[in-house]
């Protein structure tokens, strides 16, 4: 397989993963338990599923203790990101939450160079700022959702942090092993945070035990949206930069908004300015691969000349 066709396959796989992720917002509203409980059940189911895969394949998950601790702590970040994500959705709408998550590319454009001790690529910062402009347009006309939008932006910042960390972890460990230990970390964080959530953030306490169809949606969330999608995304980090992945993830609001409108109808309809803002975000997503393509062409030409 040529480099071009391999890259094309990676981007198509990435879009499939993003489509699956965009459905998590729908599941977050279909499941009746709180955001913390969703993450709690999602993660233990994911750990169980991955453990079963390892057992069937006879694969070992042994790592050095320091590596296990590092990956589990990264799982804490993932858990915080998911809790904020589902929580933001509950206090606003799926569409507003997904628009806030789109700021992930801006955070990544600043965090990734610092983590890799590389120069900040100003074109990435400018594209990230274009996303912020789109977000500003949304925020200006949908101010009633400021809390949900703020929580989603914080969730995006945390997402950028663990994506950059995962980009480094994939150079040493298997994506399945990384996901396994990160899900353990995410489960532990959700379990530890649950009593605080129950005391300080809710008057009625937590239901804890899902009912009826909740179990079905949680299995879909754990197996397809977590084990499959998350592991594949970690695998893609071996070949694609964290910024390229996170900028493409900005399509999640577009896919998610379409799905939300299809499933929830009128309750998800927003002002025209909201969709203009989302269009600006989409523009940033489309520009990056074009710039990246021409930069690689210039680099290859310089190598040929040398």
pLDDT value, residue 158: 95
What's the distance, Cα to Cα, between the start and end of the chain in Å? 26
Question: Per residue in 181-204, pLDDT tens?
Answer: 999 999 999 999 998 888 888 766
The model's pTM is 0.81
Q: What is the rounded average pLDDT of the residues 149-158?
A: 91
The pLDDT, as a whole number, for residue 255 is 79
What residue has token string 């949900």?
A: 148
Which structure tokens are listed for 166? 């995962």
**Separation CA 24–CA 10 (nearest Å):** 22
| pLDDT reading at 4 higher than 70 | no
Long-range contacts of 54-60 (CB under 8 A, 24+ apart): 54/176, 54/180, 59/176
Whole-number percent of the chain with pLDDT over 90: 23
- What does each C-alpha distance from 286 to 7, 157, 250, 267, 276 come to in angstroms? 16, 21, 10, 29, 15
Return the minimum-mean-pLDDT range out of 40-54, 92-106, 152-166.
92-106
For 249-267, write each residue's pLDDT tens digit: 767 777 777 777 777 766 5
The answer to whether 244 and 13 have CB atoms below 8 angstroms apart is no
Residues 6+ apart with CB under 8 A from 101: 85, 152, 155, 156, 159, 249, 252, 253
User: And the tokens for 288?
Assistant: 């990056």
> Does the structure show a pLDDT above 90 at 132?
no
């Amino acid at each position: 397989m040529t480099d071009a066709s391999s890259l094309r396959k990676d981007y198509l796989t990435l879009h499939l993963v993003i489509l699956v992720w965009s459905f998590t917002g729908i599941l977050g509203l279909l499941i009746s338990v709180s955001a913390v409980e969703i993450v709690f059940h999602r993660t233990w189911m994911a750990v169980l599923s991955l453990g079963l895969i390892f057992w069937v394949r006879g694969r070992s998950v042994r790592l050095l203790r320091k590596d296990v601790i590092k990956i589990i702590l990264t799982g804490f970040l993932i858990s915080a990101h998911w809790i904020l994500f589902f929580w933001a959705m509950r206090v606003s709408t799926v569409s507003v939450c997904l628009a806030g998550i789109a700021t992930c590319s801006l955070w990544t454009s600043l965090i990734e160079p610092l983590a890799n001790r590389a120069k900040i690529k100003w074109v990435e910062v400018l594209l990230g700022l274009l996303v912020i402009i789109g977000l500003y347009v949304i925020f200006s006309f949908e101010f009633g959702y400021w809390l949900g939008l703020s929580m989603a932006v914080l969730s995006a910042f945390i997402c950028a942090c663990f994506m950059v960390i995962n980009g480094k972890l994939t150079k040493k460990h298997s994506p399945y092993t990384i996901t396994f230990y990160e899900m353990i970390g995410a489960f532990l964080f959700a379990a530890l945070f649950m009593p605080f959530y129950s005391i300080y953030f809710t008057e009625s306490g937590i239901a804890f035990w899902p009912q009826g169809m909740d179990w079905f949606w949680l299995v879909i969330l754990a197996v397809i949206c977590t084990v499959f999608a998350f592991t594949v995304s970690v695998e893609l980090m071996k070949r694609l930069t964290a910024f390229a992945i996170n900028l493409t993830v900005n399509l999640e609001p577009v896919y998610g908004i379409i799905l939300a409108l299809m499933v929830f109808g009128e309750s998800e309809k927003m002002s025209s300015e909201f969709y203009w803002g989302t269009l600006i975000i989409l523009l940033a997503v489309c520009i990056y691969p074009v710039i990246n393509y021409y930069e690689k062409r210039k680099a290859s030409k310089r190598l040929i000349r040398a």
